[in-house]
Amino acid sequence: MLRQATGNRLAIQPGLEKAIAERGRRLAPFFETRRRTFKVRDEKGKMETVEKDIVVVKDPKEFVNYVKEERGKESVRVKVGIDGGGGFLKACMGVISDEVPRSPTSSPVAKKPPAPIGGERFKDTGVKKLMIVGIGQGIPENHENMRTFMTELQLGSLSFCLATDLKLSNILAGLMSHASSYPCTWCQASKSDIQQDIPGCLRTFGSIRELARQYKKALAEGKRVGGQQFFGCVEMPLLENPDEDEVLDAIAPPELHLLLGVVAKLFDELTDRMQKELGSTAPADWARHQNIMREHYRGGTLEGNQCRQLLRKSLDLARNLPDKFKAFGIVLHRFSEVVTSCFGTEVVGNPEEKINDFKQAYFSLPVSITPKVHCVFDHVPQWLHRQQARSGRKVGLGFATEQASEAVHRDFKQKWEGGFKIGETRDQYKERLLRCVVRYNGGHL
């Protein structure tokens, strides 16, 4: 990886590797392993409690200050991404210079040149600057495990913006899953409200705490109640925000997951309908022809880059579809304009107008509104407004959220398998995991 990117391995690599190892040594005192219990499924699928070694940053605030000093930044904002991909539950931290982005180079749809490697040339927001601040292997994402993980992370001492997928967002906010009757992380809209585009009252941490208390009290009194009677609030939130904070203040709409979710929803519906009504595999054939995907699509998932390519070529897709299905291509194109306008680190043009155009086009399709689509319609514009009202800056979702989680899984896996990997039950496991995390972070300082 280093070799490919530097293009001058003999001259640069040995020095760079030495520097990374040295940085890793300086970072080592900030991290430690801890043994904690987690709920996992055994071979028969039954939940059991097991002890696992995890690696966490000892003092997040001290760590952020160190990174800030090392990078010579005066003012920074912290973003945290939590994600369970690649077999490891990870909390990643971006320590970003709190400056207004200067050039409109951050459009997530536009084709980007490969980033150069090394030091200051990396953007703070990129995957090469992300640090792992908590990690554990094979930890299922449920409320109990996340409570343990978040307790160890002690992020309450920091002011940060969190982005994670909808499943974890709801767990962290104390809510039932996004497949429940009140699926939205950010508001109290019911499933049917969402289908009718009726806006929901925004959730605050105080309202979730109060409703969860009422729910637990009713259960304790032996009443037959369900979480849906309490707007899906069933647990205390795992974030320590004050009661008056809205969830939208703490958990940003996660750009990558929204991108993946919306594109997959539209492309799946198109693929299924054309197969069913015409016996045609045209959309998947087109995508293969465009080199967006190589394999047969159904049953697989699209990755971020594939979604971006698909969006870039959505007008071509529309041209290639029979009249009855052209609207799918048009809606994808409208979504592509939304992504260009506000999924990068800064706002380009008028995102509200783009979101409205996308919404109108989406309503012309016989397709349901998923919680992610609802989030784009309602909560993305709200979030953008707040950022501008607060800081006077027109920043996009990418300024505060994380679109690099896929890349972190890939990069960490490469590092882990390139010399550290060992069975979880072995004696040296925790030392190896700690060394791997420290080394990974050393390369990202």
Say how far apart CA 56 and CA 136 lie, in whole Å: 9
160-164 and 88-97: which strand pairing? unpaired
The nearer residue to Zn ion, 205 or 325, going by C-beta atoms, is 205
Q: How far is the CB of 422 from Zn ion (least distance, A)?
A: 44
Judged by CB under 5 A, which of 30, 31, 182, 186 binds Zn ion? 186
Q: Which of 132, 184, 264, 355 binds Zn ion (CB under 5 A)?
A: 184
Range in contact with Zn ion (rule: CB under 5 A) among 52-60, 183-191, 232-240, 385-393:
183-191
Q: Does 187 bind Zn ion (CB under 5 A)?
A: yes
Contact call for residue 369 and Zn ion (CB under 5 A): no
The verdict on 175 binding Zn ion (CB under 5 A) reads no
CA end-to-end span of the chain: 17
Stretch that binds Zn ion, among 147-155, 185-193, 276-284, 352-360 (CB under 5 A): 185-193
Using CB under 5 A as the criterion, what x/- string covers residues 193-222 for binding Zn ion?
A: -------x----------------------
The smaller minimum CB distance to Zn ion, of residues 187 and 330, is found at 187
Contact residues for 19 (Cβ-Cβ < 8 A; gap 6+)? none
Interface size with Zn ion, residues (CB under 5 A): 5
SS3 280: coil
| Six token digits for residue 275 | 């197969």
Distance of CA 48 to the CA centre of its chain: 28
Min dist CB 106 to Zn ion, Å, is 26
Closest of 115, 117, 121 to residue 2, by C-alpha: 117
The letter for the amino acid at 281 is T
Cβ-based nearer residue to Zn ion, 355 or 434: 355
CB of 259 to Zn ion, least distance (A): 18
Which tokens is 191 given? 């499933």
Q: How far apart are CA 154 and CA 160, in angstroms?
A: 12
Q: Which of 351, 350, 278, 292 is nearest to 321 (CA)?
A: 278
User: What whole-number distance in Å separates Cα of residue 320 and Cα of residue 69?
Assistant: 54
* Shortest reach from residue 233's CB to Zn ion, in Å: 14
Task: Give the binding range for Zn ion (CB under 5 A) out of 112-120, 177-185, 283-291, 315-323.
Answer: 177-185
Residues 66-85 that bind Zn ion (CB under 5 A): none
Closest residue by Cα to residue 112 from 338, 411, 312, 316: 312
Binding site for Zn ion (CB under 5 A): 184, 186-187, 189, 200
